[in-house]
Amino acid sequence: MVTRFGEAAQLSVEAGIAGVEIHAAHGYLLAQFLSPFSNERTDYYGGSPLARAKIVIDVVKAVRKAVATETCVGIKVNSTDHTDLGDSIIQLKAIVDAGVDFVEVSGGSIEDPMFSTGLHTTVKASTKAREAFFIDFANTIRSELPDVPIMLTGGFRTRQGMEAAVKGGSCELVGLARPSVIDPALPKKVLDTSIPDHGALAYAKRIEAWSWAKYTGIKAVGMGAETVRLSFCVTKTDEPIMRLGADLNSHTNATIMEDNNAIVIVGGGCIGLCTAYQLSKSLDDQDRKPSIIVVEAGDRPFAAASSACTGCFHYHFPGPLSKTLTPLGQYSFDLWTQEAQNADFRLATGYRANSSYGIHQGDGKDLDRLPDWIKTETCWDVGTQVLGDNTATVNPNGLGKWLTQQCLARGVKIMTNSEIVGVKLSISNEVKTITLRINGQQKTTIACRQLLLACGPWTPAVYQQLFPSSPVHLQWITDAGDWIICNNPCLTTPESTAFVSFAPLIGEKFEFAGRNDGTIWTCGRRNFDATLPSPGHSDEPDKGLIQEMTECARKWLSLNCTCHEGNCDDVQILSKGRAFRPATRSGLPVISEVKSSDITQKNASLPTGIFVCWGHGSWGLTLGMGSGRVMSQLMRGEKPDIDLSPFSLEQGTIPAGPPSTELFNS
């Protein structure tokens, strides 16, 4: 059988096909070998995860040997809805090493032909809600096999859904099966930028299996009902495309009507996405939910300081700010801890509790607590209170992807490369519409009932641009930090995720943060003189400081680690940059409603539907989930769980002077 796979691949290439894909999913033979539920063999092809994968590995090697080196060879595998995640990763690593060029993630098997009919009963609600059914498993593969191209198939119906999966880093390729059957022109529509989003989607209405199917007790009955019924619809009319298009138009009109009730959040960083996530959860009890739209100037969510940070959760705040910030900090920390009860969250983010360490002068106490990528010295002591008693460390990039996918799964729309350039208000300053500039050119107007400004360090400039007659300006200071990301010289394990601060030893800010993707983040002292670039753009880091951080990395990282073959005797810098933290003069964030009198001085203090949430400084990640929760409560007219009076707009503003032209470089 293994030989025949190779022969089939060879014949395919000889027939002119550019590549082949090995089908090891959907309950077919190779998938049955991989699954512990169907493979009960006790010989060389059963038992352990690698033994169950042996025949698949042999097939990959046979196919690879039968075709030319430049021939693309992929493999289609199942998501792990019904199998052990760790086992699947072990199998997949061995399969990739055997010679595949990409991995396609799909789902459905003999255990449950997932989403092949309307009669699914055990699938999570979040999976049903989103387009990309199997994106959690794709994200896990990405974290374990970062260099392997991934194709994601299953559930895609819209251009936005496909773009979100690719831009979110979950995959490089999108597979379309049933949507292409329903509309063969769909791939061209998706790639044609002249076609608006509402025209680049497949039929989005769910079609259930025939009513009698539920009484058979057989899962496969009714399989493909969606395709069959739509095909019938097309073939029974003289104008099939118009018939199908009418359904698409009715769906589009409904979406546009919902946008009249939209909530727009400007800023796709941690604060904006946490608010969108919490707000969407709070609306679950409503029959008619408003649209939630996140507008991000960058080319992806988490594009600025939210991803360029250490990734620490804590509620330890130094100096006089401690009393004010600790209630919000502990509240937010507890919410993050609740999310960490979910295995999907832990896998996506690399979450590791109580993994923050400080290096002090000493005599070697607790050196064994440090991760193996730190080259220890006997004159050190290691402290665990550098960020307080309770801490956790995550990969900010993984957190951003998790938040993005959670929001998309709950119906939140995320618009990237989009800047807010105008707002239309009623006579009493209630928000009516906003105007966006997309990709620097096209302008779009969105009717909305609420507007939240959560655009990080750009929030003061955006506020001033939208409300030039405001009697107040948001007070701010520059707080930038240059950083590098380098390869972890040691083998990546769960213990690699850790935060290590050298500030107690050297008397100034210098820190490492190990991540679950095989990298180490490094950041040094603050820069209070840098000039903030315009939204969606970046600034070059200081060459001297980058060199200084590189020298510290050479000094303190275990560059001669021999725990795996990929070790190197010098720092391998993967990327570098400068992050601008959203900092206020007071050091406190603003979490507040904007009253009518805050927009024009002569107006009464009436609600406007406009809100501000910004200024979290270095603590945006750890304060993010709590800030998102209380902001969502504020926007719904509920009493927030904690007192927000210290974070009011009044506390975070100064009297307006002449319009500023120095908030950022244009």
Which tens digit of pLDDT belongs to each residue from 462-511?
Answer: 999 999 999 988 999 999 999 999 999 998 889 999 999 999 999 999 99
**Long-range own/partner contacts, residues 430-439 (CB < 8 A, 24 or more apart):** 430/596, 430/607, 430/608, 430/609, 431/608, 431/609, 431/610, 434/264, 436/295
pLDDT score for 289: 84
Is the CB of residue 280 less than 8 Å from the CB of residue 410? yes
Provide the percentage of residues in the chain whose pLDDT is more than 70: 84
Residue 337 has pLDDT above 90, yes or no: yes
User: Distance between CA 278 and CA 157 in Å, rounded?
Assistant: 25
Residues 6 or more apart whose CB falls under 8 angstroms from that of 253 comprise: none
DSSP 3-state assignment of 368? helix
pLDDT score for 641: 98
pLDDT score for 141: 87
Question: Domains in the chain, please, with CATH?
Answer: 2-255 (3.20.20.70), 262-304+411-472+585-655 (3.50.50.60), 356-390+480-580 (3.30.9)
Residue 660 has pLDDT above 50, yes or no: no
Q: pLDDT tens digits, residue range 132-149?
A: 788 888 888 888 888 899
Q: pLDDT tens digits, residue range 421-441?
A: 999 999 999 999 999 999 888
CA dihedral of residues 459, 465, 468, 471 (deg, nearest 10): 10
Of 241-255, 425-439, 441-455, the range with the lowest mean pLDDT is 241-255
Partners of 265 in the β-ladder: 294, 452
Closest CA to 550 of 577, 523, 531, 526: 523
Residue 118 has pLDDT above 90, yes or no: no
Where residue 538 falls among pLDDT bands split at 50, 70, 90? Answer: confident
**Average pLDDT for residues 278-290, to the nearest whole number?**
87
Residues 6 or more apart whose CB falls under 8 angstroms from that of 194 comprise: none
Where residue 185 falls among pLDDT bands split at 50, 70, 90? Answer: confident
User: Distance between CA 152 and CA 139 in Å, rounded?
Assistant: 10
Provide the percentage of residues in the chain whose pLDDT is more than 90: 58
**Average pLDDT for residues 398-403, to the nearest whole number?**
95
Token pair, residue 89, equals 């990763």
Residues 6 or more apart whose CB falls under 8 angstroms from that of 635 comprise: 263, 275, 279, 450, 452, 611
Where residue 80 falls among pLDDT bands split at 50, 70, 90? Answer: low
Residue 121 has pLDDT above 70, yes or no: no
**Average pLDDT for residues 155-162, to the nearest whole number?**
85
> Alpha carbon of 188 to those of 159, 192, 199, 239: distances in Å?
11, 6, 11, 20
pLDDT score for 201: 77
Is the CB of residue 30 less than 8 Å from the CB of residue 22? yes
pLDDT: which is higher, 534 or 442:
534
Closest CA to 135 of 405, 395, 397: 405
pLDDT score for 665: 38
Which pTM was predicted?
0.64
Residue 15 has pLDDT above 50, yes or no: yes
**Average pLDDT for residues 199-226, to the nearest whole number?**
47
pLDDT score for 232: 38
Of 222-226, 266-270, 364-368, 582-586, the range with the lowest mean pLDDT is 222-226
User: Distance between CA 523 and CA 508 in Å, rounded?
Assistant: 11
Q: pLDDT tens digits, residue range 300-311?
A: 999 899 999 999
What is the chain's mean pLDDT, rounded?
A: 84
